[in-house]
Amino acid sequence: MIITVASGKGGTGKTTIAVNLALSIGNANILDCDVEEPNVHTLLKPRKIATEDVLLPTPVVDHGKCSLCGKCGEFCEFNAIFVGKKKVVVYPEICHSCGGCRLVCPEKAIEEEGRTIGKIHQTHVKAIHLVYGELKIGEPLATPIIKAVKKQIEPKKINILDAPPGTACPVIETMEKSDFLMLVTEPTPFGLHDLAMAVDVVKQLGIPHGVVVNRAGIGDNAVQEYCKEMDIPILLEIPFDREIAEFYSRGVPFVEEMPEWKEQFLELFENAKEIMRNDS
């Protein structure tokens, strides 16, 4: 089972919800797909972490074989390979590793080499298996790292994915093949605006979904009214509470210190399962 926790914008408490849910379930995988700013590990505080590089195949030109025919440059829709008067230049940062230039080269002058674009880390905290990706600074492509993180999904276990904020490609990559999407928002005009954008994407993907309202009570009821109008179930409302905010600011998942919330998160999980069952 794959449950993705997402939000239309950053700062809604999405990661806190994902971590508290995983801790409440216990024997779960949590995969942090926010590879530009992973922070699940800052809440779970693992000790031993295994790390491996994520490599992306990148073209390398053998100038001894190249006839400067120009076919690779014509083929590349990303302008990542340029055929000059004397040599071919590859721009690895904008190469999407499609392999097309190698295929069209009539001289077989292009090989591929692995280029490190980031890392994935794996660790265990209590019964939780945590995987998180980290995009190298300056690298523009987050999706290959997200794919590498998602390779660690174990179909027989409960996998909770923490999506990047927003509604761009990395979010879609994270959401794809999910069984359920949990959209975290807050009851403010910004929260509603970004929730509506996330709902647009989710409806197009056709994945069962529900909303978690974080910091309930700080704004108005517009989010609740929107959900009613759109027929989207609100699975849980977490009030704006001083004690929860203090744990949050200290990087402590609040279910650890307020066990009554574990029940609420387990109920949230059961409600999500019920929606999935009704949808299938």
Which of these ranges, 27-35, 101-109, 171-179, 236-244, lies near ligand SF4 under the rule CB under 6 A?
Answer: 101-109
Residue ranges of E strands in the chain: 2-6, 28-32, 50-61, 81-83, 88-90, 110-125, 128-135, 158-162, 180-185, 209-216, 234-239
Which residue in 27, 42, 51, 67 binds ligand SF4 (CB under 6 A)?
67
Task: Indicate the burial class of 204 (C-beta count within 10 angstroms; 0-12, 13-18, 19 or more).
Answer: exposed
Contact residue for ligand SF4 among 95, 117, 128, 223 (CB under 6 A): 95
Angle between helices 222-230 and 189-205 in degrees, nearest 10: 20
User: If binding is defined by CB under 6 A, does position 97 make contact with ligand SF4?
Assistant: yes
Beta-carbon count within 10 A of 113 CB: 11
As measured in angstroms, the least distance from the Cβ of 111 to ligand SF4 is 10
Q: Does 66 bind ligand SF4 (CB under 6 A)?
A: yes
Classify 150 as helix, strand or coil: helix
Which tokens belong to 36? 């530009």
Phi, psi of 7 (to 5 degrees): -155, 150
> Is 98 a residue that touches ligand SF4 (CB under 6 A)?
yes
CB nearer to ligand SF4: pick between 101 and 211 = 101
Tokens found for residue 152: 């660690």
Task: Give which of 149, 156, 183 is closest to 1, Cα–Cα.
Answer: 156
Q: Measured from the CB atom, is 94 or 218 closer to ligand SF4? A: 94
Question: Which residues touch 167 (CB under 8 Å, ≥6 apart)?
Answer: 8, 197, 198, 200, 201
Nearer to ligand SF4, 92 or 233 (CB): 92
Pairing between β-strand 158-162 and β-strand 128-135 as defined by DSSP bridges: unpaired
- In the complex, the smallest distance separating the C-beta of residue 55 from ligand SF4, rounded to whole angstroms, is 14
Task: Tell me the site size for ligand SF4, rule CB under 6 A.
Answer: 27
Which CB atom, from 64 or from 206, has the smaller least distance to ligand SF4?
64
Asked if 226 is part of the footprint of ligand SF4 (rule: CB under 6 A), the reply reads no
Asked whether the beta carbons of 91 and 78 are under 8 A apart, the reply is no
Residue 274 interacts with ligand SF4 (CB under 6 A): yes or no: no
Quick check: helix, strand or coil at residue 66?
coil
Kindly indicate which of the ranges 16-24, 100-108, 193-201, 261-269 contains the residues binding ligand SF4, using the contact rule CB under 6 A. Answer: 100-108
- Selected binder of ligand SF4 within 36, 75, 176, 240 (CB under 6 A): 75
| Binding flag, residue 110, ligand SF4 (CB under 6 A) | yes
**Token code pair at residue 86:** 């004397």
> Does residue number 84 form part of the binding site for ligand SF4 (CB under 6 A)?
no
Q: Is 275 in the site for ligand SF4 (CB under 6 A)?
A: no
Please report whether residue 78 would count as binding ligand SF4 according to CB under 6 A.
yes
Sole window of 103-111, 121-129, 141-149, 191-199 interacting with ligand SF4 (rule: CB under 6 A): 103-111
Where do contacts with ligand SF4 occur on this chain (CB under 6 A)?
Answer: 59, 61, 66-72, 75-76, 78, 80-81, 83, 88, 95-101, 105, 107, 109-110
